[in-house]
Amino acid sequence: MSGGTGVPIELNVERVANGGWCVARHEGRVVFVRHALPGERVLAEVTEETTRFLRADAVEILQASPDRVTPPCPFAGPGRCGGCDWQHATLEAQRRLKGEVVAEQLQRLAGIDMKVDVEEVPGAVRGLGWRTRVQFAVTPDGVPGLRRHRSHEIEPVDACLIAHKEVERVGVERADWRGAAAVEAIATSTGERAVVVTPKTHRTVAVPELGADAYVLVDEGRGQARAVRGRTALTERAGGRDFRVTGSGFWQVHPGVPGVLLEAVLEYAAVRPGDWALDLYCGVGLFAAALAEATGPEGAVLGIESDARAVQDARHNLRDLPQARVERGRVEDTLDRLGVERADVVVVDPPRTGLGRDVVSRVAGLDAGRIVYVSCDPATLARDLSWFADHGYPAVDLRAFDAFPMTHHVETVVLLVKDVV
């Protein structure tokens, strides 16, 4: 290749790729380029070179796509904040591109031909103001910011446009966080606000005055948080129920997503009174609670979760549903330990790494009539769906949701039904 890292090259951008990239070619090699759109001609600066491909940032648009817009955020763009991938595209184009990525991954990795329409989720006006949990990194001199793409470098910001307005009211970006490694700002669906401070090793943090009343928590590691002001337990609401979420525990960051995911999961699960249902990677019990309500007292639900703090929260959240229980541990180990050999319905909501071959095999062996797979990563989803198909569980339906506008991330819910030969 002529030149090297940092050298500008002209590219004809072809198609979208997973991860917020587009694909181009230069001197016989694939180039994964950011800040571009399919069909554009761009001048791009190479940021990384391997023996098989290049990575690059589009630094000048020579021929623009009709889908291109000016990014609303001043911190978006080459070499700046890495949080948003698609601010330079219309929202309609963003959803179309995400659908193309999911469809391409399904076809290439699982042999599934399926048109994917990504649904808009209420609660993000013009794709902004939706993120209810924002993790800020902190520079050595106490300035908060966001990580640059594929970098540990910090981009100082004075506001984040995708952050929920109640997160911005806290005012983390305008405070001095000397002694902190990270600060998370949280705004819950019930109106609570909190700041979770992660100190640097052996350092104390003088918590500054903030712009709104907020609980202040210190993350002490190993899943433990200490309240400096207010409570460690926050309250979220979805599906007509309150859920306790301690500190930085997992909860969907888009305010509309818990509801739409819950609706999709229940529709696909089609749970009947008396069913035996499993909720694997159950978190704080969002799906388990709804499944337990659907099975009724004559049925049963088992949730499995590896995070100790989430297990405590889930047990609290399900305390009024005696037909539901939660066990802590790795999914395959816990199923074996409890001797679980069958189920009527299984819901899985794994982390971005997906299930993996061993868990797919164990879940398929439960002989459930329906498996509902919730995923935030199209590549690991497609890989796992291929393995499920090998075990007689083809994917028969899919819904995709724009749970993270302005970014490449997409949430999918897939129904797998046991093949009856």
Residues catalogued as catalytic: 376
* Residue 210 zone, left/alpha/beta (φ > 0; ψ -120 to 50; rest): beta
Q: Which of 164, 163, 173 is nearest to 211 (CA)?
A: 173
Residue 232: other Cβ atoms inside 10 A? 20
**Tokens found for residue 377:** 């990563």
CB 142 within 8 A of CB 134: no
Could you tell me if 398 and 116 are in contact, meaning their C-beta atoms sit under 8 angstroms apart?
Answer: yes
Contact 186, 216 (CB under 8 A): no
Structure tokens at 163: 């952050």
Cβ–Cβ contacts within 10 Å for residue 135, how many? 17
Question: Using CA atoms, how far apart are residues 288 and 312, in angstroms rounded to an integer?
Answer: 14
Q: What pairs with residue 334 in β-bridges?
A: none
CA pair distance 160, 283, nearest whole angstrom: 27
C-alpha dist (Å) from residue 36 to 26, 57, 65, 87, 326:
15, 8, 9, 11, 45
Consecutive H or E run containing 388: helix 378-390
And the tokens for 176? 């001095």
What 8-state DSSP symbol labels residue 206? -
DSSP 8-state symbol, 207: P
Please report, for the chain, how many H helices and E strands are present, in that order.
Answer: 8, 23
| Residue type (1 letter), 23 | V
Token pair in block for residue 53: 């491909």
**On the CB side of 2, how many CA atoms lie within 13 Å of its CA?**
5
Instruction: Give every strand in the sheet of 180-187, ordered side by side.
Output: 154-156, 144-147, 133-138, 180-187, 193-199, 215-221, 224-229
Q: How many CB atoms lie within 10 A of CB 220?
A: 12
User: 């918590």: which residue's tokens?
Assistant: 207
Count of other CB atoms within 10 angstroms of residue 155: 19
User: What whole-number distance in Å separates Cα of residue 327 and Cα of residue 271?
Assistant: 21
